[in-house]
Amino acid sequence: MDGGAVLEVNGIVKRFGSLEALGGVSLSLQSGDILGLIGPNGSGKTTLINVVSGLLYPDAGSLLLYGRRIDRLSPHRRSHLGVNRTFQIPHPFTGLTVRENIDISLLFGRLGNRADLDQRAEDILKLAGLSEFSEHKAGNLNTSQKKMLDLAKALATEPKVLLVDELAAGLNTSEAEAVARLLKEVRKSVDAMIVVEHVMNFIKRVTEDVVVLDAGKVIFSGKFIDAVKDSKVREVYLGKAGGT
């Protein structure tokens, strides 16, 4: 890259009726960045991921991917340009096999072609630890495996920016550790990542850089170790008494 931002989120506003879920959120990702996006329930983390991935359109503000505006593009166009995501609640195609789930992303994703389809699918299944379930129906996987499949589907589109929405939520400690290791591995193949997470220990393992959201606004942007000392952050997580 020529030093420009990979992804720029500028003053994004998203309203649902009278509720302002995002009130002018701005952040920027450079090549190689992994940004932890944290905040209490209802702070707007998933809404922001939905806006960046194209499932929601913003009411104001702009999104730039390598300097190109993408905020009015459909999700499949953004996927072709290199933006992809996982879901907090996984979205596998339950009636299709695990391999077919991956194949769709490989065939229709950013580079979308048939070249080395089997090899590429095997590599991704191996990375996600799903090789032995290749011919299983995705609906028969357990929650942890479905989350891995979600990640594998996103990776199969060969994204440049990956948005990971609470991948470790609901997983036990060893599963979460495996996911953290996996994300570090994934980091090598993408240009930048945003990792949304509730579990602080998980974020700590994945990145040092965090943005804290509260009520749809950025209240902190910086290093994780500074965030835990920040009075505003402590207040939204622990209540007023926590800050004193």
Partner 1 sequence: MNFRHFFLKDPKRMWPEASMLVAPLAVIFILGPDIYPNQSIFMELAVFIMLADALNIVYGYTGYLPFGFGVFFAVGAYGTAILISHASWQVAPAIIAGACLAALLSLLFTPLLRLSGAYFAISSLAAFEAFYLIFSNTQLTSLTGGPYGISFTQVYNANLDYTAAVVLAIASAIVVLVISKSTFGIALQAIREDRFAVELAGVSSLRYRTYAWLISSFISGIAGGLFGWYQGFFYPEAVFNLTEFSVLVIVFVLFGGKGTVFGPVVGTVILFLVYEILSLTFSNSLLIIFGLLLVVLVLFIPNGIEPLLRKAADLLLYPDGRD
79 near partner 1, rule: CB under 8 A: yes
Cβ-based burial of 206 (10 A; exposed 0-12, middle 13-18, buried ≥19)? buried
43's CB contacts (< 8 A; 6+ apart) are: 213, 214, 215, 216, 236
Among 100, 122, 123, 209, binds partner 1 (CB under 8 A): 100
Q: How many residues bind partner 1 (CB under 8 A)?
A: 33
Nearer residue to partner 1 within complex by CB, 114 or 181 = 114
Mask for 115-154, x = binds partner 1 (CB under 8 A): --------------------------------------xx
Nearer residue to partner 1 within complex by CB, 55 or 228 = 55
Q: Which stretch binds partner 1 (CB under 8 A): 9-17, 21-29, 80-88, 127-135?
A: 80-88
Beta strands in the chain (DSSP E): 7-16, 19-29, 34-38, 60-65, 68-69, 83-85, 161-165, 192-196, 209-214, 217-223
Q: Which stretch binds partner 1 (CB under 8 A): 102-110, 123-131, 178-186, 231-239?
A: 102-110
To the nearest whole angstrom, how small is the minimum distance from the Cβ of residue 152 to partner 1?
A: 11
Q: Annotate 63-114 with DSSP letters as a single string.
A: EEETTEE-TTS-HHHHHHHTEEE--SS----TTSBHHHHHHHHHHHSSS---
Cβ-based burial of 122 (10 A; exposed 0-12, middle 13-18, buried ≥19)? middle
228 near partner 1, rule: CB under 8 A: no
Among 60, 107, 127, 178, binds partner 1 (CB under 8 A): 107
87 near partner 1, rule: CB under 8 A: yes
Give φ, ψ of 13 to 5 degrees. Answer: -120, 130
Residues that bind partner 1 (CB under 8 A): 53-55, 74-76, 79-80, 84-85, 87, 91-96, 100-101, 103-105, 107-110, 112-114, 153-154, 156-157
